[in-house]
Amino acid sequence: MKNDRKSPEFASHEYVRPNLNWECGHTCEGCPCRIGPSPKGECRATFECSPKLVTKPGETKGHYSCTRPKSGGGKCENGPLPDGSCCNAIPKCRPRRTLRSMRKLAVVFTCIATVLLLLIGVSRSMRDDFVNPGPISSVHASEHFVNVHKKMSGDASTCAACHDGAKDGAASWYTKALGAFKEGLAPADLIKRGPIESSAMDKSCLACHQGMEFHQPNMPANFACQECHKEHGTSGFMPPADSAYCISCHGDTDLMAKSRDLGAKISPHSFPNFTGGSDGKVAARVRPEGGYTEVINAFHTDHPEFRQIKDSLAGKIQDTNTLKFNHAVHMGKGTMPRELNCADCHEQDGRGEYQQPITYEKHCTECHTLQFDETTPGLTLPHGDPYYVRAFLRSLNIQYEEFGRDMEGITGREELIAYIKGKRESIEGQYETGEDLEHMVFFSDKGTNFADGQRAAFTGCAVCHEVKPAESINATPKIEKVAVPVRWMTLGKFDHSLHEKGLTCLDCHDVMKSELTSDLNLPSIKSCIDCHSPQGGIDHSCTSCHTYHNSNPFTPLGETPAEPAKADK
């Protein structure tokens, strides 16, 4: 409810202008002098009036008259003194600043304090801490890095390891800033789309790290290291590059088209080779036509199907391993001496990422014993080289002798001769000739009936391998080399151990119906997207599978690669 008490009345001519810097010291007492302080804040109080000499007609001397205005109380009772001075001296005061003036003063003091703060901040002892925009990653903050930097540059400031601005001190910042403004950070540059192109600071990175040609050579431009590697964010590991940075190129139709055109002009040999060597452990990856320039905006929306899957469906790629392997049989119930599971053959490597290679000795020998003589269960053929197999078969007397002595414990000469003789007669009873035995060992398959009606009592090499007849009389049959790739998808990394939680192998690898070795049995991208998507809730960033760099770009600091020893001349 409004209070109806009226405002106090005051004479309008006594209004104090608030824009003055000084006011009379008596203002707070409610009785400021009429003159007021000077603009510099000095008290100008003297007397209440300047008496005026009045000479009436006929008078010679005249008399002084008070000139105090009505606003000051009018003429005083006592009047001026005989000497013409006012009898009412105004008491002196100490003028004080108005609020407005005090605010101005506060602005000036604050500005001075700010400049002082800046000067202290950029002084040599505090500079690095003051301007540092955040903690640097553990690697660049390590003592080793500091020592190496000191050794390389002689500068104690680790900021100078990356920033030229830190090398020359604060005095040079203005010119450097002006240079940056003109060169790469002019207003027109700030609205450029796409990643930051290679910059002067990259040179600092390259002092320790390898060159920048570590992505595809058909990139429209080399991009600055800082585009992906964001320093001053955390004191731990540098955070992985955000997918958005990958998509800023790979999601850009124009850039991808430009990249595709560039790639067409570049020699195919310029592109990184991921054939993985000649041992066949890593499936060869042939660069797709047009390169990796399909427009991708997100893994779960438009990432293309894995090339291996796409190419296998199109018949362009299949497992060329010569080993005959039927997953359906091996995983089937009742078809094996004992029930097998995936881990019986597929063992993870030490890091749990990939599967170790499958070897006959470790994974096949339990069932595929290579026994050829029904009467001698422990005597098995050697595995690995057909030459040794043939040599084994052609030296059966010796093999029986060694087996009898070592395995049967027959030590007497006569008994040993009798043992060998018995075994010889037995095997000769099973096969008509040594050539027949050799032939069956190499070529017999399950249920193979040879032309002469003979049938092997065992399963030979041909059960699992592609065996070709000998090309000359003394040559051995040729067995195609087995090559089981340990990795098919070489463009992305994968960690099997991380996927064991809540998933079985069969959830991704549908092998229960796979009867052919040529089946890739790799999961489609759809099964990945089930989890690696916003709906699935699992990380679906580009870097969770891919790396930007073709190889490890890090060269250990302070260490030079060993050079091959030179022969003395």
Partner 1 sequence: MVGGLFAAYVFFAPFYPRHAYLSGWVFLAVMLFLTFFNFRKKIPFLRMGSVGFWLQVHIYVGMISGALFFVHISFSWPHGLLNQIIAVIFAIVFVSGVIGLWISRSFPKRLTVAGFETPFERMPHVRTALRKEAEALVLAGVDNQTSPVIAEFFTDKIGLFFAKPHNLVAHLLRSQNPQASHRSQFAEIRRYAKRTELDMLGKLEDLVEQKHLLDYQYALQFTLRAWLFVHIPLSYSLLILSVAHIIVVYSFSGSAP
Site for partner 1 in 225-244 (CB under 8 A): 226-227, 232-233, 242, 244
- Backbone φ and ψ for 505, nearest 5 degrees, come out as -60, -40
The length of the chain in residues reads 569
Those residues with Cβ within 8 angstroms of residue 481's Cβ, 6 or more apart along the chain or in another chain: 322
Q: How near is the Cβ of 169 to partner 1 at its closest, in Å?
A: 11
Query: Which is nearer to partner 1, 2 or 566 (by Cβ)?
Result: 2
Q: 389 near 374, Cβ under 8 Å? A: no
Query: Which is nearer to partner 1, 187 or 315 (by Cβ)?
Result: 187
Q: How far is CA 373 from CA 120, 246, 383, 407, 440, in A?
A: 93, 63, 16, 15, 12
Q: Treating both helix axes as pointing N-terminal to C-terminal, what angle do 396-403 and 413-430 enclose, rounded to 10 degrees?
A: 130
Site for partner 1 in 418-477 (CB under 8 A): none
**Other Cβ atoms closer than 10 A to 362:** 12
Q: How near is the Cβ of 69 to partner 1 at its closest, in Å?
A: 18
Site for partner 1 in 80-109 (CB under 8 A): 99, 102-103, 106-107, 109
Q: How near is the Cβ of 386 to partner 1 at its closest, in Å?
A: 59
Piece in contact with partner 1 (CB under 8 A), picked from 7-15, 303-311, 446-454, 510-518: 7-15
| Alpha helical stretches, state H, 318-385 | 327-331, 342-345
- The residue count for binding partner 1 (CB under 8 A) is 79
Query: Which is nearer to partner 1, 53 or 117 (by Cβ)?
Result: 117
Q: From CA 522, how far away is CA 236, in angstroms rounded?
A: 36
Q: How near is the Cβ of 247 to partner 1 at its closest, in Å?
A: 7
Site for partner 1 in 329-368 (CB under 8 A): none
37: left (phi over 0), alpha (psi -120 to 50) or beta: beta
Q: How near is the Cβ of 190 to partner 1 at its closest, in Å?
A: 4
Q: How near is the Cβ of 26 to partner 1 at its closest, in Å?
A: 9
- Strand duo 52-54 + 96-97: pairing: unpaired
314 near partner 1, judged by CB under 8 A: no
Site for partner 1 in 265-294 (CB under 8 A): none
Site for partner 1 in 199-228 (CB under 8 A): 199-202, 224, 226-227
Q: How near is the Cβ of 244 to partner 1 at its closest, in Å?
A: 3
Say which residue the tokens 């060269």 belong to.
555
Which one of 44, 75, 140, 163 is in contact with partner 1 (CB under 8 A)?
163
Site for partner 1 in 166-195 (CB under 8 A): 166, 172-174, 176-181, 183-185, 187, 189-195
Q: How near is the Cβ of 144 to partner 1 at its closest, in Å?
A: 23
Q: From CA 87, how far away is CA 46, in angstroms rounded?
A: 11
Which one of 53, 89, 113, 506 is in contact with partner 1 (CB under 8 A)?
113
Q: 292 near 215, Cβ under 8 Å? A: no
Q: Tokens standing for 49?
A: 């009036």
> Site map for partner 1, 127-146, x if CB under 8 A?
--xxxxxxx-----------
Piece in contact with partner 1 (CB under 8 A), picked from 15-23, 85-93, 346-354, 404-412: 15-23
Q: Tokens standing for 524?
A: 């489609």
Q: How near is the Cβ of 546 to partner 1 at its closest, in Å?
A: 16
Query: Which is nearer to partner 1, 192 or 281 (by Cβ)?
Result: 192
196 near partner 1, judged by CB under 8 A: yes
**Other Cβ atoms closer than 10 A to 160:** 18
Which one of 146, 206, 247, 484 is in contact with partner 1 (CB under 8 A)?
247
Query: Which is nearer to partner 1, 134 or 384 (by Cβ)?
Result: 134
Q: From CA 371, how far away is CA 268, in angstroms rounded?
A: 50
- Strand duo 467-468 + 22-23: pairing: unpaired
Name which of 459, 445, 315, 454 is nearest 380 in CA terms.
459
Site for partner 1 in 24-63 (CB under 8 A): 27-31
Whole-number CA gyration radius for the chain? 48
14 near partner 1, judged by CB under 8 A: yes
| 8-state DSSP, 111 | H
Those residues with Cβ within 8 angstroms of residue 518's Cβ, 6 or more apart along the chain or in another chain: 318, 319, 320
Q: How near is the Cβ of 44 to partner 1 at its closest, in Å?
A: 19
Q: Tokens standing for 40?
A: 């510099």
Piece in contact with partner 1 (CB under 8 A), picked from 160-168, 286-294, 348-356, 551-559: 160-168
